[in-house]
């Protein structure tokens, strides 16, 4: 395992970018119907989903770049926890049955990023190295 340790910062960055782009896609589907409208989303969107969509777009973009990673990830983690409990948990206790697995995974990936930071390949790392 020690041979993998030097690569942990790079892999953290890859996790951050992949999760952020997947999250960003949800916002693009909600707000811009790109590449298609989000299945099951009402039209027009209620205010809460409109705010969530913009947070997904802006927050996902910032996380993909690795800019303000910790505060953005913390905010998005909380948003996904609320989404899980409001939209999924009331349907069933089990995430596989209530459709909440993506919300639960995003919640905990973002919670981890709030503590771990953006990794080696992030704008946060570049800004931090500046004299």
Q: What is the pLDDT of residues 104-118, one digit of tens each?
A: 999 999 999 999 999
Read off the pLDDT band of 1 (50, 70, 90): low
- Rounded CA separation 116/113 (Å): 5
Task: Read off the tokens for 2.
Answer: 């020690």
Q: Can you give the pTM of this predicted structure?
A: 0.92
Residues 6+ apart with CB under 8 A from 21: 60, 64
Secondary structure of 86-126 as H, E, C letters: HHHCCCCCCHHHHCCHHHHHHHHHHHHHHHHCCCCCCHHHH
Average pLDDT score over the chain: 94
pLDDT digits (tens, 9 = 90+) for 48-82: 999 999 999 999 999 999 999 999 999 999 999 99
CA 125 to chain centre: 19
């Amino acid at each position: 395992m020690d041979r993998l340790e030097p690569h942990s910062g790079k892999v953290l960055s890859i996790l951050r970018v992949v999760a952020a782009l997947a999250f960003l896609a949800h916002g693009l589907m909600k707000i811009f119907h790109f590449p298609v409208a989000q299945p099951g989303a009402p039209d027009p969107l209620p205010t809460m989903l409109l705010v969530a969509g913009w947070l997904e777009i802006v927050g996902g973009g910032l996380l993909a770049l690795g800019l303000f990673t910790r505060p953005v990830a913390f905010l998005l983690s909380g948003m996904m926890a609320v989404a899980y409990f409001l939209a999924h948990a009331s349907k069933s206790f089990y995430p596989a049955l209530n459709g909440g697995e993506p919300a639960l995974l995003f919640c905990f990936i973002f919670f981890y990023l709030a503590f771990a930071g953006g990794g080696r390949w992030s704008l946060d790392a570049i800004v931090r190295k500046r004299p």
